[in-house]
């Protein structure tokens, strides 16, 4: 018989994410698990990968239970190689600021998911060099800042945008179809914390009308790429991609709409992966723990 005196609810999980990367050697998984066991923590999910070319070890562990982060990190560092990079985070939504221009599809997707608590991120503000996305942003209770680039040099405009971002102190900045090329100086402020989305035709079909070019070439698939931003334009480590099949019956307009759908979903997925600590950057590529 069931114990009728037992509580009818479960204590909410206190979930933490642990990421480790270091040169591979025997016993890394055991040593990590042993430290977590000694702290009375329960492993919910674990993934490991060894990069075969340089024998580099990566591990993501999701665990439950109360812990003192400083003490746990101390014990992990004592158990693991001195070269190990260790990242420990709880599962609270990550604070972000979104930069946008005129196109609404990527921003709208993030705003709606944020409104319904499905983003694993807290959108602190939206900043744009145009004012047309203010209604959707403010309707969903997110502050909107219009910082026009008219009459300003790139340096002056970026300085104004940077000052506004810094007021919020976000963990990540997301470019939701922000159609301005950022300077290396701006990017340097957010190294490893700046995400971008674009169509997957690059480096082919460069320019303002990639879908028209793709239509003329009769491409059979289109897609989207979300990546970290680096000094090299659209060359940063890739976080997520999508591919959508096309055929001769689709117009350039049809392809563009399918591309926008792919972009918004791919950006949302990439942001979720990053905020849930499922991404490790190794050189110029990523290890993604699904």
Provide the token pair at 178: 């922000």
Peptide bond into 47 cis (omega under 30): no
75 is catalytic: no
- Residue 247 CA to residue 221 CA, distance in Å, equals 8
Q: Is the pLDDT of residue 208 over 80?
A: no
Report the number of secondary-structure helices (H) and strands (E) in the chain: 8, 13
- Residue 237 CA to residue 229 CA, distance in Å, equals 8
For residue 160, give the 3-state DSSP assignment: helix
Provide the token pair at 171: 């963990």
The active-site residue out of 64, 75, 234, 254 is 234
pLDDT in tens, 160-204: 999 999 999 999 999 999 999 999 999 999 999 999 998 876 557
Q: Is the pLDDT of residue 152 over 70?
A: yes
- Under the banding of pLDDT at 50, 70 and 90, the label for residue 1 is very low
pLDDT in tens, 78-111: 999 999 999 999 999 999 999 999 999 999 999 9
**pLDDT value of residue 22:** 97
Question: Among 8-22, 110-124, 224-238, whose mean pLDDT is lowest?
Answer: 8-22
Provide the H-helix boundaries in 171-225. 184-188, 210-217
Higher pLDDT, 210 or 105: 105
pLDDT in tens, 239-287: 999 998 988 898 888 888 988 999 999 999 999 999 999 999 998 999 9
């Amino acid at each position: 018989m069931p114990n009728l005196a037992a509580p009818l609810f479960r204590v909410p999980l206190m979930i933490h994410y642990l990421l480790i990367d270091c040169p591979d050697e025997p016993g890394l998984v055991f040593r990590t698990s042993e430290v977590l066991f000694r702290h009375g923590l329960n492993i919910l999910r674990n993934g490991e990968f060894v990069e075969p070319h340089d024998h580099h070890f990566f591990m993501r562990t999701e665990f439950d239970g109360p812990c003192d982060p400083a003490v746990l990190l101390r014990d992990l560092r004592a158990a693991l190689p001195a070269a190990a990079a260790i990242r420990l985070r709880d599962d609270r939504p990550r604070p972000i600021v979104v930069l946008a221009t005129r196109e609404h599809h990527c921003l709208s997707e993030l705003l709606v998911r944020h409104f319904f608590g499905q983003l694993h991120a807290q959108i602190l503000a939206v900043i744009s060099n145009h004012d047309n996305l203010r209604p959707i942003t403010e309707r969903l209770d997110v502050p909107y800042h219009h910082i026009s680039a008219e009459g300003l040099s790139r340096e002056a405009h970026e300085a104004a945008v940077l000052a506004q971002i810094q007021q919020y102190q976000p963990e990540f900045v997301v470019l939701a179809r922000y159609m301005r090329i950022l300077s290396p100086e701006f990017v340097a402020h957010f190294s490893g914390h700046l995400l971008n989305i674009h169509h997957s035709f690059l480096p082919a079909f460069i320019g303002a009308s990639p879908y028209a070019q793709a239509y003329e070439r009769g491409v059979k698939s289109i897609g989207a790429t979300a990546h970290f931003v680096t000094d090299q334009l659209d060359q940063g480590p890739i976080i997520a991609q999508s591919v959508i099949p096309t055929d001769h019956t689709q117009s350039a307009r049809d392809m563009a709409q399918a591309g926008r759908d792919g972009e918004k979903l791919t950006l949302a997925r990439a942001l979720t992966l990053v905020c849930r600590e499922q991404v490790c950057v190794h050189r110029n590529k990523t290890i993604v723990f699904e």
